[in-house]
Every structure is written in structure tokens, then in C-alpha cells.
Amino acid sequence: MAKSTPAKAEPKLLSGGNPRIAKGYGDAPVQAYIAAMPGRKREMGGRLDALIERAVPGVNKTVKWNSPFYGVEGKGWFLSFHCFTRYIKVAFFRGMSLDPVPPGQSRSQDTRYLNIHEDDAFDEAQFSAWVKQASHLPGERM
């Protein structure tokens, strides 16, 4: 009788549909997070990742606290995103220094958010401009 290979367990989704992905550095854990994003959010996650890579060649990646983070070596992390039930929340850690300032307010003095709902128009050019600007600013050390 042939042995069957056990099926790979699907990542657990936390409240709001955010994937539960183990902490890890590099592209592999970020791609695992994106692959585990529910529904149409998966396509947007891949789009965000590709735009960030295009805007910041050689960008550093990690997954911490069940969210992908993007940064520049020696500068820290400049951006993260997280799934919620009705949208993806992109956090620009130095968002108040971006021009124009992203629309979502934060309790943090410097952070600004961009909430991307499934039916929203998404301005790739503006997002890419914010990513480029953010990558040149001092990032967060986490």
C-alpha cells in the first residue's frame, strides 16, 4: 500500500481574516502570508508586494505580529500591512512626512494609514510614490 503524503495545513485566519503566519525574515514568509490572505485580498496583497519591490529594489522583508513588514537595511521598517474583515490596512510608519499625507489617521504621531477596500479604486502611482518617499526616511526599529 502506498503511503500518502499528509496535506500541508492551511494557515489559520485570525479575527478579521488576517493570516496567522510565523515570524520570519525574507521573502518566503511574506509570500506565505500573501498566499494565505482570504479571497480577493490575496490578489491585492500580491499587487502591493510587487509595487513595493518595484519602487524599492532589494527591499528587506519580514513577517512580525502576523503582518508583512518592508524596510531598508540600516534604516529600519517603513511600511506594513494587515488584513481586516472589509479592507487591507497599509501603515506608513513615517506617513506624516509623506507628500501628500496618506488619508488614514493614527494614534501615533508619525504613522498614517491607507485603507484599501475591495471595491475602492487603487491609485498605483500614488502608492508607489509614497513607498519611494517612505523608503528614504528613517524607519522603525522593531
> Would you write out the chain's pLDDT as a tens digit for each of its 142 residues?
444 444 455 678 787 788 999 999 999 999 999 999 999 999 999 999 999 999 999 999 999 999 999 999 999 999 999 999 999 999 999 999 999 999 999 999 999 999 999 888 999 999 999 999 999 999 998 8
Task: Extract the C-alpha cell encoding 81.
Answer: 500591512
The predicted model scores a pTM of 0.90
Distinct helix (H) and strand (E) counts, the chain? 3, 6
Q: Give the count of alpha carbons within 13 A of 118, CB side only.
A: 11
Domains, the chain: 17-135 (3.90.1150.200)
Q: What value does the CA radius of gyration of the chain take, rounded to a whole number of Å? A: 16
